[in-house]
Amino acid sequence: MREELLKLLKKSTTLNRIASKIYWKMLHIVIRIEGSEFYERRWLMRHTKQKSDWEDLPNRDSWVKDYWESKNHPHRNFLVQRILRFAPIESILEVGSNCGPNLYLLAKFLPLARIIGVDINPVAVNEGNKFLKNEGISNVKLICSKADDLDTFKDKSFDIVFTDAVLIYIGPDKIEKVIKNFVRIARKTIILLEWHSERLNNERIEFLYKGKWVRDYKALFERFGFVNVKVEKIPEEIWPDSNWKIYGTLITIYLDLY
């Protein structure tokens, strides 16, 4: 019965469209009810799923290995080059680093900097530290933690704090705490590669789109008193995914100007 239903959906464009709308509406209801824990549970156990998160990479027997191999994805070089514009850089923190592909690239340019990555998935952290060691990278350390649990880091302990497609999984229940932590820990700059839209109003600065959170980050940081915020739409060719074409944005918050 299930197979017959799937075949019918594939054949009928109208039924497929209706089923898709119902699916996303139901998913958004669940996400709003469960809050950030919805995705925290999934990322905590993501390594148990065999499907790759990267369409241009093979479906390996290791989800973490695919993430490591994604260090050559064009968006990573774009992000790294934007970060390097703030040199000299002595310390960097990536929140949601997985096994460290971004930090591996940064370490190549900044071999003397103190570079830390935190991620909720313990397997990604453990495997990432092994990958980095095997590559001879000694100035990067990965730690298992969550975006809203950064109390182990002292105030202004990193020149730059950045994320790469992480806050799209953080709900309204935790986003302000996460942002406050970034502001507390960062000394010079916060850089976010996230889904952003300024077509909102003062009362509504975020909405769900295909299961991910889109926000007006400029308005969000203005609530915290920061107006020196630069918004840069990422080039379509560095992340050809249709959703990133619409909302993919680099948001830079200049803290050292205050």
* Structure confidence at residue 200 as a pLDDT band (50, 70, 90): confident
Question: Which tokens sit at 46?
Answer: 């993501």
pLDDT digits (tens, 9 = 90+) for 43-70: 888 888 767 776 666 556 688 898 999 9
| Per-residue pLDDT, 59 | 56
β-strand partners of 225: none
Element containing residue 81 per DSSP (H, E): helix 74-84
Cis peptide before 88 (omega within 30 of 0): yes
> What type of residue is 115?
I
- Predicted TM-score (pTM) of this structure: 0.90
Q: Which CATH architecture has domain 65-254?
A: 3-Layer(aba) Sandwich (3.40)
Return d(Cα 91, Cα 71) in angstroms, integer.
Answer: 20
Domain-wise residue ranges, the chain: 1-34, 65-254
Nearest to 217 by CA among 237, 200, 239: 200
pLDDT digits (tens, 9 = 90+) for 139-159: 999 999 999 999 999 999 999
* Structure confidence at residue 229 as a pLDDT band (50, 70, 90): very high
Q: What is the mean pLDDT of the chain?
A: 89
Contact 192, 164 (CB under 8 A): no
